[in-house]
Amino acid sequence: MKQAAGRELLEDIVVDPDSYQFEKVSALSFLGAHEQDTDRLDAAERHLRAALRLMAAEPSGGTELEEVRLAEILLKRGGRADLEEARHLIDRVGMSRPMLLSSRFRNCLAGVRVALALGDVHHAEGWARQALALASATHSGLANHPKLGLVETDDATRAWLAAIVVAARQATGEDRVG
């Protein structure tokens, strides 16, 4: 009941002509995130694309993860065009926009997955290195909130990222001595 009421409120904000644009972006982002988390990918994609269209004119109201979430959806679909679009979205975000290290880390994980799906070991290694560095950070970079947005990940994810770095080095011959 509460979930339906929350969804209805967010949908009302999106269609209300008196809603501010940042409110619409925020509502669309939250709808898209919830739908992705509940595996309703078509609806999630529609809402995230709508949020990104609005953000192109005025970026406020977003969650820092709209492009990443859309890329994750496209990656799950796995078609070549979807993967290329996902790569474009991830590269567009890069390491610059997200303020929180945890958001940057999620972007890096998506970058690794997209690069591997496209057979691009070199870029997968770069994203994996960045992800490992973010996972090792002990300070957020925010003076008043040193622990806000720090990466919380498991040993299996760290091992997977490290294995990608090692495999890429072996593939390019960088691990040879001599």
Q: Are residues 99 and 52 in the same domain?
A: no
In-domain check, residue 72: no
In-domain check, residue 68: no
Distance CA 114, CA 157 (A): 16
pLDDT for 96 equals 59
Distance CA 127, CA 115 (A): 9
> Whole-model pTM?
0.88
Q: Are residues 119 and 167 in the same domain?
A: yes
Structure tokens at 99: 């303020």
Q: Are residues 39 and 101 in the same domain?
A: no
Distance CA 53, CA 169 (A): 39
Distance CA 21, CA 61 (A): 8
Q: Which domain holds residue 43?
A: 1-63
pLDDT tens figures, 68-109: 999 999 999 989 999 999 999 999 887 556 788 999 999 999
CB-CB contact of 83 with 123 (8 Å): no
DSSP state of 83: H
From first to last of its 178 residues, the chain has per-residue pLDDT tens of: 677 778 888 998 999 999 999 999 999 999 999 999 999 999 999 999 999 999 988 888 888 899 999 999 999 998 999 999 999 999 988 755 678 899 999 999 999 999 999 999 999 999 999 999 999 999 988 889 999 999 999 999 999 999 999 998 888 776 654 4
CB-CB contact of 69 with 33 (8 Å): yes
In-domain check, residue 71: no
Question: How many domains is the chain built from?
Answer: 2
In-domain check, residue 123: yes
Q: Are residues 89 and 55 in the same domain?
A: no
Q: Are residues 142 and 93 in the same domain?
A: yes
pLDDT for 45 equals 97
Distance CA 61, CA 55 (A): 8
| Residues near 94 by beta carbon (within 8 Å), at least 6 away in sequence | 107
Return the closest-CA partner of residue 117 out of 175, 74, 168, 174: 74
| Residues near 103 by beta carbon (within 8 Å), at least 6 away in sequence | 64, 65, 68, 149
